[in-house]
Chains A and B, each alone.
Chain A
C-alpha cells in the first residue's frame, strides 16, 4: 500500500472516533490527529481533505477543555506547514472559534488557541490581517498579562508573528497597548519568554520611525543592556536585533542608544558570540555609523573597529563578511580621520584580499568595492 493510501486509511479510521460518545476517546483521537498532522505536510493535507476541520471547529465551541486543547492543537499542526493549509484552516471558520477559546479561563486552552493563531498569522500579511480582523489582538494582550509563563511566551510569539508583516498590523498591535506589557516582561527570569518578547518588540519597531519611537518611549533602555549578558544565546541575538531595528531609522534614536552605552555593550556581545548570531550586532554598528560623522566617531571611540576586524577574520560565512565590509564602509566614509582609524586596524589588506578573491560572491564584492 502506498503512503497516500495508508494516510487515507488512517484518516478514515480516526474520523468516526472523533464523534464517539466517550469524551476521552474524542480527546485522544483529536490528539492523535494533531500529532500526525504536525509530523508531515501530506498528513496535514489529508486532514484538510478529509473534512475533519469543520467538525473539530464545531465542537471547539462546545466541548470540555481537554477537547478544546486537542482541537486547537490539530488546527495549529495543520496550519503550520504552508500558507495554503493555513488558508484552508481559516476558510473553515477556525478564527472565530479560536478567538472564543482565547476567552476561556483555563490557561492551557488559551495557550493552545494562541499558538494556533500565531502559526496561522506567521505565513503572510493576508492571514495576519484576517487574524486581526477576528479580534484576536486585544485578547492576546490580555493573555500576556496572565501569570503562567508558557501562556505569556506563546502570546508574545503570536503578537510577534502578527506584527512582522506590515506597518498597519504593527500599529494595530501597538494600539492595544501591547508595548507596555511587553516592556514589563523584559526582566523576567525565563529565557524563552525573553526571546519572544524581544522578537516581538523588534518586529514592531522595524516598520517605521513612529513605532520605533514608541518602543523606545517605553523606557526599555538601559534595562535591555543587562539582557545582553543573558546566558541564553538567542535572547542576546534578539536584543541586538531590537537595537538594530531601532537604530536604523534616525540619527536621534541612534544617538540615544549611543548615549546609554549601547554601542559598548554590543561590541562586547560581538566579542563573546560566534557564528550567525553576530550578524545583527554588525549591522547595528553599521547603521549607527552611517547616520553621521559624530556617531561614526563614537563607534570608533568605543573600540568598535578592532572588534569588527576580528569578526571579519574569524567568520567563514560570506554574508557576515559582506556585512562587516559594509559596516567598515559606513564607518570610514565620513572624513579622513575616520578612514585613518579604519586603516590603522589593518583591515584594508583583508578587504582587498576579499575583493580579489574570485570565490567570494557578487554581493561581497559589491559591498567591499563600495
Chain B
C-alpha cells in the first residue's frame, strides 16, 4: 500500500514528466533521429567494414594458402624440369665428348689418315723410283739392241764388200790398195779381205739343154757346196719357164739320172777270193781260245819254257783287308790295351 500511495503522489509528476519528456523527445526527435541515424549508419558501416575486413582477411588467408599451394606445385615442376634439363645438359656434354673422341679417331684413322697418306706417298716415291729405274734399263737395253743390230748390219755389209772386192787382196809381189807400204800396218779392209773367202764364180745363165741333162754344177762331186756323202743335190730353180708342153726339170732329172746298176760279175772285185780267205782266217783267229795250234808230229811244243802261275809265284801274301785291322796286325804293340 505504501507503494500505492507513493505512486499516487507521483502521478502528477509523472504526468508532467511524461509530457516534458515527450516534449523534449519531440524537440530532440529530429536531432536525435539524425544522430541515431548517424550512429546507426556509422555503426552499420563499422559492422560492414569489419565484416569486409574480416572477409578480406579470410580471403587473403585463402588466397595466400592457395597461392602457396600452386606456387609450391609449380616450383616442384620447375625443379623437376630444371633437374631434367641439368641432366640432359650433362648427357649432351658427355655425348659431345664421346662424339668428339670418336670423330677424331674415325677421321684420323679412316678419312684423313696422316700416316697412311705418308706411307702412301713414300710407297709412291719408291714405286716411281723403281719405275724410273726400270724404264732406264729398258731404254738402255733397247738402245744397246739397236746399236748391236746396226753394228751387225754394218759388219755384214763390210763382209759382203770384202767378198766382192776380194781381188784387191795384196800379194807377195804387189801390195794391195789397202796395204800401202808407207803405212805402219795394213788397213782394216785389208785384214777383212784376208779373212773372208772370195765369192764363188757366178753361175752363167744356162739354156734349156743344160737345165735338162747336164750335171756339171750340180753333181755330187762339185767341191764348192758341202754336202753329206751320198745326198742328192737340189734341182735348179727354174728362172724362165720354157713355153710348151715340157716336163718339169725335176721329173726329167729323175728320169735321166738313173744310177749305175752293175751285174754281179762286175760288182765283185778282182781280189775277192783273197779278201774272203783273209776274212775267214781273221774270223778263226778271233774265235779260237787256244793260241797254240795242234801240230801233229812236231816237237814245237816241247821247246816252250815253263811259266809259273801268278798265285804261286808272287811273293805277296794274301792281304788281310777287311778281316783284320791295324791294331790286330801288331798285337804286341798294344800291350794288353783294349782294341
Q: Give residues in A with beta carbon < 8 Å to B.
A: 222, 225-226, 228-229, 231, 258-261, 263-265, 268, 294, 297-298, 301-302
Contacts and interface: CB of A to CB of B under 8 A. Distances in A.
B121 A298 contact: yes
A265 B132 CA distance: 7
B67 interface: no
Nearest to B137: A229
A25 to B, nearest CB: 25
27 contacts: A225-B131, A226-B135, A226-B138, A228-B135, A229-B135, A229-B139, A229-B142, A231-B142, A231-B146, A259-B124, A259-B127, A260-B131, A261-B128, A261-B130, A261-B131, A261-B132, A264-B128, A264-B131, A264-B132, A265-B132, A297-B117, A297-B121, A298-B121, A298-B124, A301-B121, A302-B124, A302-B125
A261 B135 CA distance: 11
B128 A263 contact: yes
Grouping DSSP codes into helix (H, G, I), strand (E, B) and loop, the B interface class, with mixed when no group exceeds half, is helix
A264 B142 CA distance: 20
Contacts of B139: 229
Nearest to A263: B128
Contacts of A294: 117, 120
B193 to A, nearest CB: 35
A282 B127 CA distance: 21
B125 A268 contact: no
Grouping DSSP codes into helix (H, G, I), strand (E, B) and loop, the A interface class, with mixed when no group exceeds half, is helix
Given A231-B143, A298-B121, A301-B128, 8 more contacts: A225-B131, A225-B135, A226-B138, A258-B124, A261-B128, A264-B132, A294-B120, A302-B124
Given A229-B142, A294-B117, A265 B135 contact: yes
Contacts of B131: 222, 225, 260-261, 264-265
Contacts of A222: 131
A275 B143 CA distance: 23
B124 A268 contact: no
Residue of B130, B132, B143, B146 with most chain A CB atoms under a 10 A cut-off = B132
A231 B150 CA distance: 15
Contact of B128 (A228, A231, A297, A302): A302
Contacts of B138: 226, 229
B117 A268 contact: no
A301 B126 CA distance: 10
Interface of B: 117, 120-121, 124-125, 127-132, 135, 138-139, 142-143, 146
B141 to A, nearest CB: 10
A268 B135 contact: yes
A161 to B, nearest CB: 30
Nearest to B128: A264
Given A225-B131, A268-B135, A301 B125 contact: yes
Nearest to B130: A261
A16 B244 CA distance: 37
B45 to A, nearest CB: 92
Residue of B120, B127, B135 with most chain A CB atoms under a 10 A cut-off = B135
B276 to A, nearest CB: 65
B192 to A, nearest CB: 30
B250 to A, nearest CB: 29
A298 B124 CA distance: 7
B132 A301 contact: no
B229 to A, nearest CB: 41
Contacts of A258: 124
Residue of B117, B120, B128, B143 with most chain A CB atoms under a 10 A cut-off = B128
Contacts of A231: 142-143, 146
A294 B117 CA distance: 8
The 6 A-B residue pairs whose C-beta atoms are closest, nearest first, are A261-B131, A264-B128, A229-B139, A301-B121, A261-B127, A302-B128
A229 B137 CA distance: 10
Contacts of B146: 231
B305 to A, nearest CB: 86
Nearest to B146: A231
Contacts of B117: 294, 297
A78 B125 CA distance: 53
Contacts of A260: 131
Nearest to B125: A301
B121 A268 contact: no
A265 B130 CA distance: 11
A268 B142 contact: no
Nearest to B121: A301
A53 B135 CA distance: 51
B147 to A, nearest CB: 12
B68 to A, nearest CB: 66
A222 B130 CA distance: 13
